[in-house]
Amino acid sequence: MLGIADPPTLTRREREKIQLRQAILDATQDIAAKEGWQAVTTRKVADKIEYSLPTLYEYFENKAALLAELNREGYRQLLAVLQHTRKSAPSPTRAILDGAQAYCNFAWQRRELYEVMHGLSGVVLETDSYHAEAQALTNEAQTALEDWARSEGIQVQNATSLNDAVQILRALLHGIASLAIAKQIAGGKKVAAALALRATADQLNAWKTNGKI
């Protein structure tokens, strides 16, 4: 199922290359976290890894490719968080509600990743939004919602309606997270997280009342 590991037949050079590539990604994230995405400049990244400017371009075709990689990385990390949350939840309902909280926490704690995932704060996305990592996140959400529906005896009409329901929950959480990041929610992140929880619970209740999704 996984397909992660290659046989470790890597030369020292190859290992160094992988490390340097990762260092570039880390440096970029670090600058974005500390100074915001407007401050992320190719020269600053190069300075931080203590290599000269053109070296960056040996590892990433251009700045957009660097951001695209961090975009995917963000989806991978969010997926991991949500999978972990679901697996340690005591019930399918809690899996959804805890997931909503975890989503918000990810948005604040990894703000720079969340921004690059959604083209916020001046990030220019040239990435196609339908990469495998984004799809994997949708699948995770569908699984969680399907589990919940089954546990509540709620009928899922078809794949489309399940997907619609997932989109609604996602849009709700994304709306709250992005408004909070833009400081447009009075009361800040604490209030925002509470709103997310409440609205998610309301939406689940609406589906429960309808008896179907």
Partner DNA sequence: TGCAATTCCTAACATTGTTAGAAATTGTAG
Partner DNA sequence: CTACAATTTCTAACAATGTTAGGAATTGCA
Give me the residues that bind DNA (CB under 7 A), please. Answer: 12-13, 17, 20, 40-43, 50-55, 57-58, 61-64
CA 18 to chain centre: 23
163 makes contact with a copy of itself (CB under 8 A): yes
Q: Which is nearer to DNA, 41 or 91 (CB)?
A: 41
Q: Which of 62, 182, 190, 211 binds a copy of itself (CB under 8 A)?
A: 182
Residue 15 binds: one of a copy of itself, DNA, none (C-beta under 5 to 8 A by kind): none
Count of residues in the chain: 213
**Mapping DSSP to helix (H, G, I), strand (E, B) and coil, where does residue 94 land?**
helix
Q: Which is nearer to DNA, 57 or 108 (CB)?
A: 57
Which tokens sit at 100? 């909503």
Q: Which of 31, 123, 141, 145 binds a copy of itself (CB under 8 A)?
A: 123
Q: Which of 52, 55, 88, 129 binds a copy of itself (CB under 8 A)?
A: 129
Name the residue among 21, 33, 19 with its Cα closest to residue 113.
33
Q: Which residues contact 46 (CB under 8 A, 6 or more apart)?
A: 52, 53, 55, 56
Alpha helices in 88-187 (DSSP H): 92-109, 111-118, 132-152, 159-181
Rounded to 5 degrees, φ, ψ at 155 are: -80, 130
Neighbours of 180 (CB within 10 A): 23
* Helix (H) or strand (E) run with residue 30 in it: helix 12-35
Amino acid at 154: I
Residue 91 binds: one of DNA, a copy of itself, none (C-beta under 5 to 8 A by kind): none
Q: Which of 44, 205, 211, 212 binds a copy of itself (CB under 8 A)?
A: 205
CA 82 to chain centre: 9
- Beta carbon of residue 210, minimum distance to a copy of itself (angstroms, whole number): 8
Segment interacting with a copy of itself, rule: CB under 8 A, options 8-16, 54-62, 89-97, 202-210: 202-210
Q: Which is nearer to DNA, 51 or 108 (CB)?
A: 51
Q: Which of 82, 172, 189, 193 binds a copy of itself (CB under 8 A)?
A: 172
Which tokens sit at 52? 């000269």
Which residues would be at the binding site for a copy of itself (CB under 8 A)?
38, 118-125, 129, 134, 163-164, 167-168, 170-176, 178-179, 182-186, 191, 195, 198-199, 202-203, 205-207, 209
